[in-house]
Amino acid sequence: MVYNQTNDPKVVQAAKTLFKNPCTFVAGVPDMKFMRQFPFPEVAFWGRSNVGKSSLLNALIGTTIARTSNTPGRTQQLNFFNLGDRLMLVDMPGYGFANVPLKLKYQWEDLISAYLNERDQLKRVFLLIDARHGFKKNDIEIMTYLDELGCIFQILVTKADKIPLASHANLKATMEEELAKHSAARPEVILTSAERKMGIHELQQHIAAL
């Protein structure tokens, strides 16, 4: 059963229990021919290069599982993390302005396309958007692509501490207006800050509800 209300006591307790578990790196997949099957549901994290994906994953788990870098394009494969033999967290290569060879970009595109199309245990894609920039053209293209695949996604706004608190509600409303145009989008927008741990408990509860 999926609980939609993240303040439901069952969901709150489920999140606390789930995220007390150890989280370990189990596989890095550069090509679908190396893909393994795991007996757990999966949630994936995707976004523009340098959006703060690794920092958010580390804040979510409460320890360093993903390598952070100021250089875009460091994640060059699908990285799978096992959360307590209950859930797999998948760190996907970023898109956008990663300074990597064109051949590698094409390789990533093939890998990501195959993963999103073929992975039955994938329950949700969390699409990360930098609060300072909002939706950019390639974010909209990615959302349209996920619509076409019928791949359910939800927006996580990163670095929300970098914009004024007074602008949070307007940013959220603007994003929700755009999301209403996308058939695969979940309506809830979660504002987060890895540095200040903002929105982390809410995100944990959304994940636990799956």
What are residue 20's DSSP bridge partners?
none
Q: Please write the tens of the pLDDT for every residue from 51-104.
A: 999 999 999 999 988 765 444 445 678 999 999 999 999 999 888 755 555 556
Predicted local distance difference test score (pLDDT) of residue 207: 97
What are residue 185's DSSP bridge partners?
153
What ranges do the domains of the chain cover?
A: 9-209
Neighbours of 8 (CB within 10 A): 13
Instruction: Please tell us whether the domain made up of 9-209 is placed in CATH 2.60.40.2300.
Output: no
Q: Please write the tens of the pLDDT for every residue from 150-164.
A: 999 999 999 999 999
Rounded distance, CA 41 to CA 53, Å?
20
Q: Please write the tens of the pLDDT for every residue from 194-205.
A: 999 999 999 999
What's the whole-number average pLDDT of the chain? 90
